[in-house]
Structure 1
Amino acid sequence: MARLLFLAMLAAFCHFGGNVLHAVFAPVVSVAIATVMGNSYHCWSYIWGLVYGEFKGASGKTCLMLGSGIFMFLAGVVLLSLEIV
């Protein structure tokens, strides 16, 4: 029970911390870049699914798609943050 409570509190901290950072950095880096980085909650949802074991027993194809999706999302965030695009 304590582990579940800890994970729930950590998830809430990451979620609401991301909202605060999005609001603070939107005027600094432009709304277009801040919105993409702020939408990283999709990626965090996948990672929390892995932590909570929601993908146990999933097929190899599902795990490959999940991993490649997380990788591509993070690569896009890195490219935007470096202003390469």
Structure 2
Amino acid sequence: MTDRPTVHRNQIAEARNVLGEVIARARFAGEPTILINRGKEAAVIVSYEDFATLRELRAYLEELRSGDTADAKHKARVLDEALALAKYRALDSG
């Protein structure tokens, strides 16, 4: 099992002051930074690689959802469940 990266949290104004550091952590260390606005999570700065992976996963899921075979529908259901669990775990640990 791989270690989960450190997740940083910053107010948007604080992150603005150290933007280079925030970007470097995301880019080189794979450590995302959650941006907080008025006490709520507003956005996340992640590496381009992580962003591209998420985009590809979303496109793949949409492709599976629109498929007309039982296999595609099954894969879509499995991926939907995995994403729902990941979202639940992320929100629960935040």
Q: Provide TM-score, normalisation by structure 1.
A: 0.37
| Larger RCO (CA within 8 A; separation ≥ 6) | 1
For the pair shown, the structure with the greater C-alpha radius of gyration is: 2
More strand by percentage = 2
TM-score, normalised via structure 2 length: 0.35
Higher-helix-fraction structure:
1
